[in-house]
Amino acid sequence: MAKMVTSAFFLKSIFIFCYRFFLRPMKGIRRSVSNMTFATQFKHQRYHSLLHRSDLNEHTLIFDVEGALLKSSSVFPYFMLVAFEAGGLLRGIVLLLVYPLVWLVGDEMGLKIMVMVCFIGIKAEKLRVGRAVLPKYLLEDVGSEMIEVVKRGGTKVGLSKMPRVMMESFLKDYLEFDFVVGRDLKLFNGFYVGLMDDTNSMHATLDLVREGKGNSSHMIGISGFHNHLHHSFFSPCKEVYTVTKAEKKKWQNLGRDKYPKPLIFHDGRLALRPTPLTTLAMLMWIPCGFMLALIRAITGLFVPYNISKPILAISGLRLDVSRPKSREKDEKEESHNLYACNHRTLVDPLYLSFILNRDLTAVTYSLSRMSEILAPIKTVRLTRNRDEDAKRMKMLLKQGDLVVCPEGTTCREPYLLRFSPLFSELCDEIVPVAIDSHVTMFHGTTAGGLKCLDPLFFFMNPTPYYSVQLLEKVSPSLPSNCNTVKEDSRFEVANHVQMQIGKALGFQCTQLNRKDKYLVLAGNEGIVSTTKRTKQ
């Protein structure tokens, strides 16, 4: 009898345990889902059915960014970009080490852990990753099928589980969203403490959207299927459309020509998407890449061209050179040439000197002192005074070959910045040089980091690629309009050289300049102070 009572008590205990920890939570979930279903007309149909509606511009669309706009369901790569670019290599290693814990504890707690690792101790006013780095990777993750819905929407609201500082620039500046709903990060004396505010602020933002939606007749929600994290935010919506994971897997990448706003400038050292596996591979490669970069640099600087070329090719450094037949004779002449090339990395003049096997002098507007010391060719810094710089460049051209980058700064994307017309007045003939480069792991340029490390990061790539095209000579007297004054003529020559290089590379010409780039990426005009150096 005692055994029967003990067994009954044991079974009762098991039942109570299962009810408390499994049945009762499931009942609550069903109740919340049921409430949401009755609060909205839950339309589970294909996302592109919205394209058949002609009234989208009259409504407010609320997008679940991670569930219905981005192809990938993992937010780890974006936090790794914040950790690596804003916090450094050590913080990136820590984030990778805690990732198994992030994966085990679930979405909400994992998100809090990543926020703590990535943001604690970061100064808020210097955090530019959300504006300078993340938009490129987020745009590459947008599904092209959903972007048509975005373009046709009236008032557009982006709802993200990531901190707003990571998503706001991407959604507002590049996808032209009107509102961004996300959690803010807590600050102490201007530094992030690694904690997020509760979701009350997100609800308050949505209430403001609802009150000021203007002529929008009602709100339409677009969410990921089984995404219960944000289901309460869609309660004001009269209609909710869902996107399944199976549908997202079929999405195509958003082409560059379909971007609502062109992505011309971006910063950061990483050239790959830092998923957990690619991040692990990158960290394992860094010691080998550092040694390989030293070998490549020494070989290119001290070994003759005919011998170093196959050695560098074996090391993975790819080089493509093309030149017109008329240039083969000109290169043997003793006349001094002016080479005007677009700017991809700091080693552009080095590659040109290496290919031509001639001593060149490179002029630049701003170059770090370390880069000037380590440069194997002569470098001369300009003063930004037009008359003084013109005299200096004419004198240098009389002494030997001169290479100039009229863009004044590097550009990673297939765009050409506005060419300064200063070079068009120096000589009778100009040699345009079209340069392109591709990297797989690290970018060899930076706007907010240490510029002296740019060549090192470029050569640390497993298979960096460089393409150099010498084009036909251009005469400054090329514009044949006799009514054109000299001032306009030099601008026409600069624009002509820009178009020739753009045509050779397949790049789009723009009127943006160095100032535009640095204001976007670094918050300054990109001018290196030369006061101390002038006094010396």
pLDDT in tens, 299-332: 888 888 788 888 989 999 999 998 886 655 555 5
Q: What is the DSSP string of 496-517?
A: HHHHHHHHHHTPEE----HHHH
pLDDT score recorded for residue 33: 39
The ranges of the chain with pLDDT < 70 are 1-49, 199-201, 203-206, 208-217, 225-232, 325-335, 366-368, 370-374, 477-488, 525-536
As a whole number of angstroms, the distance between CA 111 and CA 474 comes to 57
pLDDT score recorded for residue 205: 66
Strand partners, 465: 318, 438
pLDDT score recorded for residue 535: 35
Predicted TM-score of the model (pTM): 0.84
Backbone dihedral angles phi then psi of residue 368, each to the nearest 5 degrees? -65, 150
Element (H, E) at 206: helix 200-211
pLDDT score recorded for residue 169: 94
As a whole number of angstroms, the distance between CA 174 and CA 264 comes to 11
pLDDT score recorded for residue 117: 96
Neighbours of 400 (CB within 10 A): 13
Residue 229: closest CA among 165, 161, 181, 162:
161
Find the largest Cα–Cα distance for the chain. 118
pLDDT score recorded for residue 137: 96
pLDDT score recorded for residue 424: 83
